[in-house]
Amino acid sequence: MNTNKVSNRESAGLHLKSGNRLGKYRQSLSIVPEQRFANADKMLAAMIKTLPKSQQKALKVTEQKESDWHKVRREAFVKRYGRLFNAIFRCVDCDEPIAETMQMCPWCGSEKNRFDTRSQFTHICPRCHKGVLLEWRFCPWCYGLGLKSPSSIRSAGVYCHTLCKYCNGKLMRFMRYCPWCHRKVRQPWRIRPFPEICGRCGWSTDSDFWSYCPWCKQGLRQ
Ligand SMILES: [Zn+2]
Ligand SMILES: [Zn+2]
Ligand SMILES: [Zn+2]
Ligand SMILES: [Zn+2]
């Protein structure tokens, strides 16, 4: 996944240097995925650079309005859903709010977010780069191998939203696997005030804000 995105970006870079406008259009129409731009924003940005300065200026005003709208949308999202996530981060690719529990950025589909240096937890799973607690026996986000010698200490301030059906261990919202017994969490996370349920995984989503299901990566606007 990641290598694909990197190669997209590299090929976009190569085209930029040679760049006339026709070249950009050709690149955007290319049927070879690697030769296309990584996303519509990048394509637009590359095309704008080929325009005369006066036209670039006029477009800047539109861009400003666009970023104001993004800000309003972001604030509305955080106001509505912020409390459901223990911590909100920004996506490294699109800057929109994401949570550590997500499998991909639901706004832009990026899978490049890592939490090694910004996790809300004390330790990091080496497999999925998400935070874990020392006492957990398994990573609840990626079904990785068991964590080494789980601590008997219980971290303070950890939220318990439900109990594991199998082992009665405490589960946090949006966990995929039980960190105590490793079993898949059977009950889908359906949480208010999310208005929709993903048709694929059955967890809560909101396609007013998101383009992808953050839990199973399904596109929400097909
Ligand atoms: Zn994103
Ligand atoms: Zn993991
Ligand atoms: Zn369990
Ligand atoms: Zn889903």
Spacing, Cα 136 to ligand 4 middle (Å):
25
| 165: in domain | yes
| 204: in domain | no
| 23: in domain | yes
Domain of residue 35, residue span: 2-50
Q: Read off the pLDDT of residues 189-209 as tens digits, 9 standing for 90 and up.
A: 999 999 999 999 999 999 999
Spacing, Cα 46 to ligand 3 middle (Å):
50
Is pTM beyond 0.75 here? no
Q: Which residue bears the tokens 């996530």?
A: 85
- If one counts the domains in the chain, the total is 2
Q: Read off the pLDDT of residues 29-55 as tens digits, 9 standing for 90 and up.
A: 555 555 556 666 677 777 778 888 877
Q: Read off the pLDDT of residues 79-106 as tens digits, 9 standing for 90 and up.
A: 999 999 988 999 999 999 999 999 999 9
Rounded to whole angstroms, the Cα distance separating 23 from 45 reads 14
Q: Where does residue 99 rank: exposed (0-12), middle (13-18), buried (19+ CB within 10 A)?
A: buried
Indicate which ligand has the atom closest to the C-alpha of 140. Answer: 2
Indicate which ligand has the atom closest to the C-alpha of 188. Answer: 4
| 175: in domain | yes
